[in-house]
Amino acid sequence: MELSRRTVVAGAAAGMAATTLGGTAHATGGRKPVKTLFGKLADGTKVYSWALENGGTRLKVLSWGGVVQSLEIPDRRGRHANVSAGFDNLEDYVAKTPYFGALIGRYGNRIGKGKFTLDGKNYQLSVNDGEQSLHGGTQGFDKRVWDVEPFTKGSDVGLHLYYTSVDGEMGYPGTLKTKVTYTLTRHGDWRIDYEATTDKATVVNLTSHVYWNLAGEGSGTIEDHELHIAGSRYTPTDAGLIPTGELARVAGTPFDFTRAKPIGRDIRTSHPQLVTAKGFDHNWVLDKGITSRPEHVATLRDPASGRTLKIATNEPGLQFYSGNFLDGTLTGPSGRTYRQGDALCLETQHFPDSPNKPKFPSTVLRPGQTYHTTTIHTFGC
């Protein structure tokens, strides 16, 4: 596996990857993004919703946390459904959300005890998951209001989202200037381009935390969804869900998704890692490693509706989370509650706790470098 840090992505090649993953090519014209008021924060700050449509895909994004509030795609009969879990009001996103649809930063996933050392200096981060720092801390990028700029480019439509994280925010060094671009292509693909620069050495690991249910939001369990992950190793964790440093083989274990299988087939086995995490909540080491352009790494399929999701990325890891901590206390736009296993996440990323694991791919970003990663979601039926 390639362990060097990639900082530049060939944009043209990435675009080519978006059209070679299969799925239905709707090739319809995109509509100019539409902005509406979604709500106001306690301090009076306005939060807006942006609606985009292209190639048969409909996307709604909030300026709060860059949240994907809904994402609608058709089934085999052409019937659209929202396949992303979330809320219909701002108050629940602020007070209750388990990162529904959010942009995650500065560091997606966990950093053990919220500590790391960089260039001989120790840093203490915001701790918000037991002893660990999860998804950037108590006030990560998911809880910030982003500046949003809509665009149309050729047959594509999209949004540029901007946020500047100041030096010391949540304990991270350096002022990080972040730009995330959401693009809907004429084929209905949803592409995310992450960019960031810093004025001081820091660590960065950005990702998206959409909760998927291809049968439709609020429709119940995802255990009958079929999943394929192009990863023959994964990173086992300790009791705090921090990687031990081992790159364990998936062969002969419930973690083997090298051939597509129903998620529920092995999820209730007594494998110690499944018992600890209450299901799947692990990082897969992708066989392709770090690549200069996005490559296909995972396919999710709902047999009932025929909907499929194919994911391409240039990142070396994929976190598969099976919705283990959904407990029936949250209610979605459908008016139905979310229970354990009612949605899942597939988060493209560098590995959890990389700042404390020298053998993992580096997440260090230095002045003069540009962090740039791309993930492409291709939908089919």
Active site residues: 209, 347
**233 with 289: CB under 8 angstroms?**
no
Sign of the torsion angle spanned by Cα atoms 159, 368, 111, 133: negative
Inter-residue contact 45 to 30 (CB < 8 Å):
no
Element (H, E) at 313: strand 308-313
Instruction: Tell me the C-alpha distance between 380 and 251, whole Å.
Output: 29
d(CA 379, CA 224): 18
HSE, side-chain direction, 13 A CA sphere, residue 139:
9
Gap between the Cα atoms of 298 and 310, Å rounded: 6
Q: How far apart are CA 136 and CA 170, in angstroms?
A: 7
* Residues near 302 by beta carbon (within 8 Å), at least 6 away in sequence: 213, 214, 215, 224, 225, 226, 308
Query: Tokens standing for 62?
Result: 């909030």
